[in-house]
Structure 1
Amino acid sequence: MPYWLRYLILILIILGIFFRFANLDHKVYWHDEAYTSLRISGYTKTEFVQKIFNGHETAVEFIQKYQRHNPQNSVIKTVQSLAAEEAQHPPLYYVMVRLWVQIFGDSVATTRSLSAIISLLAFPAIYWLCLELFESPTTAWISIALLTVSPLHVLYAQEARQFSLWTVTIFLSSATLLRAIRLRSNRLWGIYTVTLILGLYTFLFSIGVAIAHSIYVFSVANGRFTKTVKAYLVATITAFLGFTPWILIIMNTWNQVDKMTASAQARQSITNLIITWITNINFLFGDFWRYEPFLPDLDFPILRWGRFLTPFILILVVYSLIFIYRQTASRVWLFIFTLSGIPALAFILSDLLIGGQLSARVRYNIPSYIGIQLAVAYLLASQIIGAKLLNHKFWQLVTVTLISIGVISCTISSQAETWWIKGSYANPQIARIINQVEKPLLISSNYSLNIGDLLSLSHLLNSKVKMQLVIEPAKPKIVEGFSDIFLFNPSRKFKAELEKEYTLVGLFNKSRLWRLENKN
């Protein structure tokens, strides 16, 4: 490996660590992360709504109480909360972060820091996977280089959610599988079982990874029932038996799981899905051209031209998949294709046949993006040290360009208070509007995603802000004494009821925030 590449990778590792910990508390603590805090506090959403959405005035600090570590609620309460209301989220990460905040505190930065630390384990894990798959240290180091400044991986490393842990378990289970196949060691098959169990208890869609591994193992064995296939089946069956307790919980609470995932069930046109798929692949390598909605004060028009990099990245991805198919043994390209294709195909077919947008959710498709990243790393590693001077100079330029796109993207997004990965994107601006008045009251209901968004908003509001929250169709009894009364994201019916007594003035994003003014 050339010396310039070694120094570049060392610099990128340092940058990657910096980007993962820089401004950890700067971006909005959004809807899903607020639910993480609710779970680790040991409360259920039902308990929170019963206590807070009662029509009485409530201080912001009291809402934050339900997102803080509560010594009276044990780790068991966290698991019970998930089992009762969000069984689609297995408990491993939530137990880990619950213990983490118990020791180090429950600030936003501290809560997110566990994900950032876990994400660092992905560096040695992807290195090991590349050695097992490609038997090439150069490919392994290039993979690390791409991973360090990948906007997608950096952003999830800064979220109080389980996706950085899931990424690590995918790397570990895949590397262990390949090593167990190669060495035929019972001990390694046992380790594979453990990594698969960890993956399943981290995120439910690890089932897709297990299916991809199954197809790979049977394909490599040419459909024969070999000793390797037998060992794999024993390991996998054992892993799923270990996951059985949570499977039973999911089955018993399926109606709630279906309700909680309803936001991913809205049917999308094929055109919109294809555009989203292409956009999401770009986010694996760069996203700085997305700065305008999130950093409106940044006057740097040249960054807008980054969107024209989309065809370049797409061509590179497609060519890397073709290249790996033509240049590697079947055991290599089959692994890449199954890991990338099987989970993605399941979501795509579901969206096209049943309706929904599972295939458009970046976080659900992390295994597919890992496969793509491995293919691109192999292509670059194979070409930058090629025999022909002109050829490897060109691919060195491509490598530096691709890495530079990631560095620029991570630099810009690190300064933003929200980004494309976040929901609750409007909360920082809404909070600024509310905080600037003398004595504000914020009214809202349990409509749509308001519960999580209000949990998120509580991290941004000043202590002087009071909230009055109700369960629809109840209407709040508003008392006098407030300088300004705001209405957050009302349903049409709720808004119509208030308009009988007040004039509603839109302040932000049409239906998102209103000011109530007396008609007389």
Structure 2
Amino acid sequence: MNSNLPPVWAFPPKVLRFLVIVLLVLGVFFRFVNIERKVYWFDETLTSLRISGYTMSETVGQVCTGQEIGVKDLQKYQRLTPEKTLTDTINSFVVENAQHPPLYYVLSRFWAQLFGSSVAVIRSLSAIISLLVFPCIYWLCLELFESSFVGWVAVALIAVSPFHVLYAQEAREYSLWTVTILLSSATLLRAMRVETKFSWLMYAISVALGLYTFLFSVLVTIAHGVYVFVIERFRFTQRVIAYLLASLLGFLAFTPWLVIVITNLGKVNETTDWTSNKIPNLSLIKSWIVNLSYFFIDFNYDLRSVYNDSVLKLIVKFLIPVILILVGYSIYFLCRNTQQRIWLFILILIGVTALPLAMPDLILGGVRSQASRYLIPTYLGIQLAVAYLLATQIISTVNNQRQKLWQLVTVTLISAGVMSCAISSQAETWWLKALNIYTPQMVRIINQTANPLLIVSCEGSSSIGHGMFLSHVLAPKVRLRLVNESNVAQISDNFSNSFSDVFLYNPDYNTISQVFLDKLENQHKYKIEKNIYPENFALWKLSK
């Protein structure tokens, strides 16, 4: 343990203790405030679709008929109904989404049965689960650094981390995954310390929970294994054997779902083929840098429209390089000032969970590592290193000027997080809702018309999700026709006389076929006015 740190259970000074409590309260507040405000986007509507017990293919067959329907007709597939049971929920993942283990979604179904299926209710489960991050990261810091003070600092940082707050309000499994990562790491370190059968059993349970939450938990377990082997100098000691047995027990508990994944591997590859999209390596590295900054500061960096405020733009441009330097120095400081068992754990957690995603992207092409949610274990390791650096420096008595400098750095970092969360809490959408960043502007255009009809393309295997999310934001007066190439001919030739405005929503330019457009223009004599609205809106207007 670093000599600059207080004793294990020592409380921080009163001022710092008050600051951490305030930040903790703010963190809880930001996780629940305006939880229903941001658009319920594509991925989240698939969550509601699954927990309601419907499959995509079943829903497409029932709604993509070319017949006119209302917004409420689509809500049927976003709500729990008596004819669909928990078995249907699990089966929807088995046949179409096996890469998403069922734990979070089963919990969500029970949650919806208790409190309803509204956007606020479904998201609130993730927010409540995210509160478990605070005791878990505190416990991990106790086990790793033997310092409650580092734990307090880590809690303060993660409480107002923009990334963690965003995913706490997301109806997906990533807040639960964050909890299982921290929990399994803490239980591993405790099992290595006390070396009892019960402690290793707790680790085995945490491994199983992680795997049933997200498949990439296997990387976390492998990282733990590498750590144990290195600490034990690659000898088959009692600790190594205990780890192997515990992790094997966890994997055996996961075997039923693993068999499902392997059996449906073709479907899994089909639904995850977007990860093989190739982008320039320079763009990929830039995305890594931006994603890292999101854990400390986030003014919606990827949205150019947010930069109408030049002050925010300057703050972001200045702080991102500072954050990179801070992270690099934190890891260097950690390695120089802690025991091997401490810095090795963090470095292995960062490396083993990042390299299997980053290296294939760099060598073969792909965007696996561009998805920041896939690298949550890596970023948690980085946040632990930063927490240790700040904790040791803000109470350092060696150099008063240096202490004040690091206190300023800490205040700046925390202030940036608080400001980011405050801005995000008022927004209608954000960078993580990538497919629906411009949905609010598009929906306002449609809702402002007197009697609109919206034609939604059902081309593409996952296109039904676009119709689902629209059901949460369109006004009840809007009528819809979900059509594909085979039933576009069913569109009435005189529907333009029945509606004030006719729109075509084309969310995926790659899957909508030219045949589909030709039928609209040649058979039905509609002019597709593609240049009225910005291309990012994916909204076209039809006129005779």
Inter-partner Cα distance in structure 1 for 2:477 and 2:284: 44
Task: Specify the SS of the correspondent of 1:147.
Answer: helix
1:485 aligned residue: 502
Task: Percent identity, please.
Answer: 51
1:13 aligned residue: 24
- TM-aligned CA deviation for residue 430 of structure 1: 1.5
- TM-aligned CA deviation for residue 369 of structure 1: 0.5
1:240 aligned residue: 251
- TM-aligned CA deviation for residue 21 of structure 1: 0.1
Contact persistence 1:470–1:476 (CA under 8 A): no
Inter-partner Cα distance in structure 1 for 2:181 and 2:453: 46
Residue correspondence of structure 1 range 218-367 to structure 2 within 5 A: 218-288=229-299, 290=301, 293=304, 300-307=309-316, 308-367=318-377
Residue correspondence of structure 1 range 106-125 to structure 2 within 5 A: 106-125=117-136
- TM-aligned CA deviation for residue 295 of structure 1: 5.3
- TM-aligned CA deviation for residue 340 of structure 1: 1.0
Pair 293,459 (structure 1): closer, same or farther in 2 beyond 3 Å: farther
Contact persistence 2:65–2:487 (CA under 8 A): no
Inter-partner Cα distance in structure 1 for 2:487 and 2:344: 57
1:215 aligned residue: 226
Q: For structure 1, which runs of at least 5 residues remain unmatched after alignment?
A: none
Residue correspondence of structure 1 range 2-81 to structure 2 within 5 A: 2-81=13-92
Task: Specify the SS of the correspondent of 2:83.
Answer: coil
Contact persistence 2:35–2:169 (CA under 8 A): yes
Inter-partner Cα distance in structure 1 for 2:300 and 2:488: 43
Deviation string 1:88-133 (CA, Å, 9 cap, x unpaired) is: 0000000000000110011000100000000001000100000000
- TM-aligned CA deviation for residue 357 of structure 1: 0.5
2:5 aligned residue: none
1:140 aligned residue: 151
2:7 aligned residue: none
Which stretch has the larger CA shift, 76-85 or 492-501? 492-501
Inter-partner Cα distance in structure 1 for 2:304 and 2:487: 35
Q: For structure 2, which runs of at least 5 residues remain unmatched after alignment?
A: 1-11
Pair 405,40 (structure 1): closer, same or farther in 2 beyond 3 Å: same
Task: Specify the SS of the correspondent of 2:542.
Answer: strand
- TM-aligned CA deviation for residue 72 of structure 1: 2.4
**2:193 is aligned with what amino acid?**
R
Residue correspondence of structure 1 range 85-234 to structure 2 within 5 A: 85-234=96-245
Deviating beyond 6 angstroms after TM superposition, the runs of 4 or more aligned structure 1 residues are none
**1:513 is aligned with what amino acid?**
L
From 442, 447, 461, give the equivalent of 2:459: 447
1:405 aligned residue: 416
Task: Specify the SS of the correspondent of 1:290.
Answer: coil
Inter-partner Cα distance in structure 2 for 1:406 and 1:290: 14
Q: TM-score, normalised by structure 1?
A: 0.97
Contact persistence 1:295–1:416 (CA under 8 A): no
Contact persistence 1:289–1:304 (CA under 8 A): no
**1:429 is aligned with what amino acid?**
Q
Inter-partner Cα distance in structure 2 for 1:169 and 1:292: 31
From 494, 500, 504, give the equivalent of 2:528: 504
Which stretch has the larger CA shift, 459-468 or 26-35? 459-468
Task: Specify the SS of the correspondent of 2:419.
Answer: helix
Deviation string 1:219-254 (CA, Å, 9 cap, x unpaired) is: 111101000000000000111111111111011111
- TM-aligned CA deviation for residue 353 of structure 1: 3.0
**2:533 is aligned with what amino acid?**
F
Q: How many residues align?
A: 516
Deviation string 1:54-112 (CA, Å, 9 cap, x unpaired) is: 11111111111101112321111111111110000000000000000110011000100
**2:502 is aligned with what amino acid?**
I
Task: Specify the SS of the correspondent of 1:443.
Answer: strand
Contact persistence 2:59–2:464 (CA under 8 A): no
Inter-partner Cα distance in structure 2 for 1:36 and 1:292: 25
Inter-partner Cα distance in structure 2 for 1:351 and 1:472: 35
Residue correspondence of structure 1 range 340-489 to structure 2 within 5 A: 340-387=350-397, 388-423=399-434, 424-448=436-460, 449-479=462-492, 480=495, 481-489=498-506
Inter-partner Cα distance in structure 2 for 1:268 and 1:250: 28
Contact persistence 1:348–1:359 (CA under 8 A): yes
Inter-partner Cα distance in structure 2 for 1:292 and 1:225: 52
**1:517 is aligned with what amino acid?**
S
- TM-aligned CA deviation for residue 355 of structure 1: 2.1
**1:354 is aligned with what amino acid?**
L
Inter-partner Cα distance in structure 2 for 1:260 and 1:292: 26
1:82 aligns with 2:55: no
Which stretch has the larger CA shift, 44-53 or 259-268? 259-268
Q: TM-score, normalised by structure 2?
A: 0.93
Inter-partner Cα distance in structure 2 for 1:472 and 1:252: 31
Contact persistence 1:93–1:162 (CA under 8 A): yes
Inter-partner Cα distance in structure 2 for 1:291 and 1:411: 18
Task: Specify the SS of the correspondent of 1:106.
Answer: coil
Inter-partner Cα distance in structure 1 for 2:354 and 2:92: 30
- TM-aligned CA deviation for residue 175 of structure 1: 0.1
Pair 292,85 (structure 1): closer, same or farther in 2 beyond 3 Å: closer
Pair 91,289 (structure 1): closer, same or farther in 2 beyond 3 Å: closer
Contact persistence 2:66–2:491 (CA under 8 A): no
Inter-partner Cα distance in structure 1 for 2:278 and 2:320: 25
Contact persistence 1:170–1:209 (CA under 8 A): yes
